[in-house]
Amino acid sequence: MSSAHPAEGTEPADRDGSAAPSGTVAGPEGGESACWLDRVCPRCDAVADGPPPARCPRCGAELRG
Q: Report if residue 42 touches Zn ion, rule: CB under 5 A.
A: no
Q: Report if residue 56 touches Zn ion, rule: CB under 5 A.
A: yes
Phi, psi at residue 23, to the nearest 5°? -80, -35
Q: Can you tell me the distance from the alpha carbon of 57 to that of 37, in angstroms, rounded to the nearest whole number?
A: 15
Q: Report if residue 54 touches Zn ion, rule: CB under 5 A.
A: no
Q: Taking contact as CB under 5 A, which single stretch among the options 1-9, 12-20, 27-35, 49-57 is the one that binds Zn ion?
A: 49-57
How many residues would you count in the chain?
A: 65
Q: Judging by beta carbons within 10 Å of its beta carbon (0-12, 13-18, 19+), is residue 55 exposed, middle or buried?
A: middle
Task: Choose which of 19, 20, 35, 59 interacts with Zn ion (CB under 5 A).
Answer: 59
Q: Contact positions toward Zn ion, by CB under 5 A?
A: 41, 43-44, 46, 56, 58-59, 61
